[in-house]
Amino acid sequence: MNVNIEPSWAARLSDEFEKPYFEALVSFIKTEYSTQKIFPPGKLIFNAFDQCPFPEVKVVILGQDPYHGPGQAHGLCFSVPDGIDFPPSLQNIFKEIQNDLQKPAPPSGNLERWASQGVFLLNATLTVRAHQAGSHQNKGWETFTDRVIHLLAESSDNLVFMLWGAYAQRKGQFIDTQRHLVLQSVHPSPLSAHRGFFGNHHFSQANRYLQEHGKTPIDW
């Protein structure tokens, strides 16, 4: 199956695209886009991959669902396009960066600037119906993104994985902590951030680890 995705990812995922579950997923997604309002726009489903080629990945941040409000989702977890108000979880991420690195919140919530530095912003589910959180879960995306995380963990060394919340932690529980830095805390959602996201110092820890392993730190 010909999937329009960045070449370094396409080369590594080509076998996955031929599997029955993925063909069923594509059929489901095509029907959804033709009959429902779906986010992100179709051309941005694989935006996280397109913005951050496989050899350039240094940090993996794992989300769950795309944003399901108009204009918010653009294929990068936690990120919103320029000019869109910061969702609450993103506000809290910027608050922690400010506390951790004394870096003020940026004017835009567009995290393409992170992706261009090697931060892979992956949602476990890559599409969603408008105003229906979780509506595309258990359709095949999770199987696909599990494979993506396995590829990264098994084919690279000294990556940083940021796993926020129980869902992300379960999805990354197999990652070899001797080979990679795995940073875990509660989710940045307002429901949980005060229970350990604030003060987790994940951003400074990530940069310290990258520098220790000869990699350029991220300008968060």
Residue 123 CB coordination number (10 Å): 23
Q: What is the largest CA-CA distance in the chain?
A: 50
Helices (H), the chain: 7-17, 20-35, 47-51, 88-101, 112-115, 141-155, 166-171, 202-212
List active site positions: 65
Q: How far apart are CA 189 and CA 95, in angstroms?
A: 12
Whole-number pLDDT of residue 154: 97
pTM: 0.97
Residue 83 CB coordination number (10 Å): 10
Residue-averaged pLDDT of the chain: 97
Amino acid occupying residue 209: Y
Over residues 114-127, the mean pLDDT reads: 98
Residue range 133-170, pLDDT digits in tens: 999 999 999 999 999 999 999 999 999 999 999 999 99
Whole-number pLDDT of residue 3: 85
% of the chain at pLDDT higher than 70: 100
Whole-number pLDDT of residue 1: 73
